[in-house]
Amino acid sequence: MEEELKGLSSSDVAARVARGDVNVDASVKTRSVKQIIASNVCTLFNAINLVLACFVLVTGSYKNMLFMIVIVLNTAIGIIQEIRSKRTTDRLSIIASTKVEVVRDGVRQEIAVDEIVLGDLVVLGRGDQIPSDSTVVHGTCDVNESLLTGESKLVRKEPGSQLMSGSFVNAGTVYAQVTHVGADNYAAKISAEAKEHKAVNSEIMNSLNGIIRFVSIIIFPLGAILFAREYFTGAYIELNQAILSTVAALVGMIPEGLILLTSTVLAVAVVRLSKSKVLVQQLYCIETLARVDTLCLDKTGTITTGKMEVDRVVTLGDCGIDEAHGAFYSIAGADEDPNETAQAIIDYYQDVIPEPGAARVGRKRANGPAQPVKRLGIKRAIPFSSDKKWSGAVFDTGASYAMGAAQFVLGKKYEAVRTQVEELAQNARVMVLARVEGFDGDGKMLGDPQPLALIAIKDQIRPTAEQTIRYFIDQGVDLKVISGDDPRTVSGIAQIVGIPHADSYVDATTLLSDAALENAATCYQVFGRVTPEQKKKLVQSLQAAGHTVAMTGDGVNDVLALKASDCSVAMAAGSDAARNVAQLVLVNNDFASMPKVVAEGRRAINNLQRSASLFLVKTVLSMVLAVCFIVLPWQYPFQPIQMTLISAFTIGLPSFVLALEPNKDRVKGKFLVNVIVRSLPGSITAILAVLGLNIVSYTTLGLDYAQVSTMCVLATAWVGLLLIVRLSFPFTPIRAALIVVVIGGVILGATVFPTLFGIEPFTQPMIVAFAVAALAAVPVFNVLYQAFGSWHAKRQDELV
């Protein structure tokens, strides 16, 4: 044994370093800042707008390049968000310690964690985090593996036992030989998978990208045909005019402001949530959580606080309750280093009455002792041992007691109390108090133990857990509890907080195949003794069944599932790994903050759907008109600067105002479908108005291009106003003020800056034509809006 405890020699260490068997950080690296900037700048979206800007630059009409401001802002926001995400991910580390004690050449020395080599002999004591997977070669200890496995009970480790990196030594000291280093470590594998890049699962983002991809496919062929028709076959249109009108058509097709609006609205939600102690680490997760239909909860840290508390004390036989209280309190208090169970007992009684001579007044628990309890004097204390599973004491009165696991304390007499123990054990940890004759020199019990009382110690449930669970049930969200603890205990706690069908539970150790796991995901509500890999597979199985899944957790054992979920939520008091990989972090560690996040998501999605329809009016209008003016013999009736006027007052300003209003309605339907349905009435009305004005103006009234363009710009703004009015129902003071500002802004641009926006003075024929088009647009728009709205509402009802 002495040879084994000398550790590696210096030459052995040098040889292992040369082979690369060192505990270096070999986890997945995130993209560099340079790569992030390049990926956000060099996009098809930016390339299209840059090409269009270059064409405008050739004409020398610099005012028509103002649309590039929005493009620059879009790119800047994307870069900032991704760099922020990168920095968060780079901080992800499961192994927190930086120094460890090893034995080399027979001498104990302290080295950095990343200097450990394969085969090193490490010395680990109470409170130490295990830096690398190892095997115990000498000594015994109790290890807390809850961060890795979710199992809250301490695990006894003896020579030959395996130690997992990332777990903590709770008691004892051991010498352990390192069996894995670097990327081969258990914790490193979890960390590496957690750091891998994950695509954002956002319906809004996917919809916007789909629109951009569609526009990108048709924009240049359509633009080339339109330009060729105007310049080569049109009625003597100058080159610069042909370029500007073609660019106007193409710019109008791109909803560039919609991406900026989306980022801004979600950024405002982030600020609002921060005031409620919720840290948002990924913008689009707000939207995702509002769409979640399945919520997976980790028991510890989410439903419970992670602490233990006494539930009740039950006396047996003729034992008095005062004797039971005094014995429990005194034995627990005699331990100089109480474990979590003993500490729960101490807290239970200290919260009832202060220690003798103390100045404070303790608060009385609802289920606490009716009378103050005092600690009794102790002649001899028998400390708790994980081997014997009990502790004891000889009091000054001469009475001797033992307290611990009933089977270990009572032995053959356990059958007499089995029924009561098992009843209490459904959702609690149960210990028995027994009177004994005394203890021998080795601390063993003497005589037959006489059971006096049982004490049930349970996980402390968050006061707001039941209310929050009820909220999600009312919203139609399916709840699953996934934990590393005993499934019976988890089921009991789940039933207490009101999770439906919580009595339907399964022990994950019995799920030996992926098929069994997938089947269990839909059949059970409570899962116990689940490994980190199984948690991840459960989430993926639910996703494969078509569910949008959110996962809450606080330990390293939750990291893989958090990463796999559509929306991940961690408690700030949890592990660094869970916090850094999660999209949402509850800073106040209160699960009750979740409804606020859902409410913010609903406000963002519903308002974005309403506002996005304004952008799609311009996109659909520009596409259809571009096709029409390939056939018609006239010049496309807009220039880029005129589209800027329309975008600013009938799209940009109202969309931002409407998108930031309160809105807690449940999210219904698909984002893109909802937006298109709302936009089509305005698009169709505007198309008809523009085509009608062109036909009448050129064939009957004999107006020139500048006059026709002026009427088309104002007619499009008018239709945009009609849509804003409908979207503003019911009216509020801010919505009424918005309509006034929109009208005033368009009039101001047309009258004060006519040259900038290419607005011509109205003649009598122009007044008549515009008035007829504007009046006709009102009933056409309202009929279309009502028809599309009724069809869409009926379709949504059918899909529910």
Average of per-residue pLDDT across 656-668: 76
Please give the residue that has the higher pLDDT: either 683 or 62.
683
* pLDDT single digits (tens) 693-702: 999 999 999 9
Average of per-residue pLDDT across 263-268: 76
Average of per-residue pLDDT across 14-28: 76
Question: Any idea which of 217-231, 234-248, 688-702, 739-753 has the lowest mean pLDDT?
Answer: 234-248
CB 305 within 8 A of CB 462: yes
- Residue 358's pLDDT is what? 42
Task: Give yes or no for residue 605 having a pLDDT over 90.
Answer: no
Average of per-residue pLDDT across 301-319: 84
Positions of E strands within 356-502: 378-385, 390-395, 400-404, 429-436, 438-439, 445-446, 450-461, 478-482
Q: How far apart are CA 231 and CA 635, in angstroms?
A: 9
How would you classify the pairing of strands 429-436 and 400-404? antiparallel
Tokens, residue 687: 């198309």
Which one is the CATH code of 310-459: 3.90.550.10, 3.40.720.10, 3.40.1110.10, 3.30.70.260? 3.40.1110.10
Please give the residue that has the higher pLDDT: either 632 or 265.
632
Most confident of 204-218, 273-287, 390-404: 390-404
Average of per-residue pLDDT across 719-736: 89
- For 287, the 3-state DSSP assignment is helix
Work out the pLDDT band at 792, boundaries 50, 70, 90. Answer: confident
How big is the chain by its Cα radius of gyration, in Å? 35
Task: Give yes or no for residue 354 having a pLDDT over 70.
Answer: no
Hey, which residues does 394 pair with through a beta bridge?
A: 380, 400
Please give the residue that has the higher pLDDT: either 556 or 646.
646
Average of per-residue pLDDT across 320-333: 89
- List the helix and strand counts (H, then E) for the chain: 28, 23
Task: Give yes or no for residue 322 having a pLDDT over 60.
Answer: yes
Please give the residue that has the higher pLDDT: either 189 or 125.
125
Average of per-residue pLDDT across 563-575: 83
Task: Give yes or no for residue 353 having a pLDDT over 60.
Answer: no
How would you classify the pairing of strands 478-482 and 526-528? parallel
474 is catalytic: no
- Residue 319's pLDDT is what? 87
* pLDDT single digits (tens) 161-172: 999 887 778 677
Buried b (16+ CB within 10 A) or exposed e, 535-545: bbbbbbbbbee
State which H helix or E strand residue 471 sits in: helix 465-474
Separation in Å, CA 245 to CA 218, 228, 240: 17, 12, 9
Three-class SS of 522-550? HHCCEEECCCHHHHHHHHHHHHHCCCCEE
Please give the residue that has the higher pLDDT: either 721 or 598.
721
Tally the residues of the chain.
800
Average of per-residue pLDDT across 195-221: 76
- Residue 780's pLDDT is what? 96
Nearest residue to 661 via CA among 604, 594, 729: 604
CB 618 within 8 A of CB 693: no
**Inter-residue long-range contacts of 219-226, CB under 8 Å, 24+ positions, other chains counted:** 219/48, 219/250, 219/253, 219/254, 220/48, 222/249, 222/250, 222/623, 222/626, 222/627, 222/630, 223/247, 223/249, 223/250, 223/626, 225/630, 226/626, 226/629, 226/630, 226/636
CB 332 within 8 A of CB 586: no
Please give the residue that has the higher pLDDT: either 126 or 444.
444
Task: Give yes or no for residue 663 having a pLDDT over 80.
Answer: no
pTM of the complete model: 0.68
- What average pLDDT does the chain have? 83
- Residue 799's pLDDT is what? 61
At the fourth CATH level, the homologous superfamily of domain 203-270+598-787 is: Calcium-transporting ATPase, transmembrane domain (1.20.1110.10)
- Residue 356's pLDDT is what? 43
Which one is the CATH code of 4-26+94-188: 1.10.10.10, 2.70.150.10, 1.10.10.350, 3.40.1360.10? 2.70.150.10
Tokens, residue 126: 């109470």
Topology of domain 278-303+463-589 in CATH is Rossmann fold (3.40.50)
Nearest residue to 142 via CA among 425, 337, 328, 355: 337
Question: Any idea which of 356-370, 463-477, 591-605, 718-732 has the lowest mean pLDDT?
Answer: 356-370
Number of Cβ within 10 Å of residue 95's Cβ equals: 23
Task: Give yes or no for residue 427 having a pLDDT over 90.
Answer: no
Catalytic residue among 21, 120, 133, 298: 298
Please give the residue that has the higher pLDDT: either 75 or 505.
505
Work out the pLDDT band at 364, boundaries 50, 70, 90. Answer: very low
Average of per-residue pLDDT across 228-243: 78
Nearest residue to 560 via CA among 535, 584, 583: 535
Hey, which residues does 551 pair with through a beta bridge?
A: 296, 568
For residue 82, how far is the Cα from the chain centroid? 16
Task: Give yes or no for residue 533 having a pLDDT over 60.
Answer: yes
For residue 383, how far is the Cα from the chain centroid? 44
Dihedrals phi, psi of 310, to nearest 5 degrees = -75, 130
Task: Give yes or no for residue 4 having a pLDDT over 50.
Answer: yes
Tokens, residue 289: 């959580």
Average of per-residue pLDDT across 618-643: 89
Task: Give yes or no for residue 283 having a pLDDT over 80.
Answer: no
What percent of the chain stands above pLDDT 70? 88
Average of per-residue pLDDT across 380-394: 83
- Residue 196's pLDDT is what? 52
Task: Give yes or no for residue 97 having a pLDDT over 50.
Answer: no
Average of per-residue pLDDT across 717-736: 90
- Residue 730's pLDDT is what? 84
Please give the residue that has the higher pLDDT: either 187 or 645.
645
Question: Any idea which of 12-26, 400-414, 620-634, 675-689 has the lowest mean pLDDT?
Answer: 12-26
Positions of E strands within 343-428: 378-385, 390-395, 400-404
- For 223, the 3-state DSSP assignment is helix
- Residue 254's pLDDT is what? 80
Work out the pLDDT band at 470, boundaries 50, 70, 90. Answer: very high
- Residue 93's pLDDT is what? 41
Task: Give yes or no for residue 102 having a pLDDT over 60.
Answer: yes
The vertex-197 CA angle with 192 and 201, nearest 5°, equals 130
Extents of the domains making up the chain: 4-26+94-188, 203-270+598-787, 278-303+463-589, 310-459
- Residue 265's pLDDT is what? 79
Average of per-residue pLDDT across 315-321: 87
Question: Any idea which of 65-79, 326-340, 609-623 has the lowest mean pLDDT?
Answer: 65-79
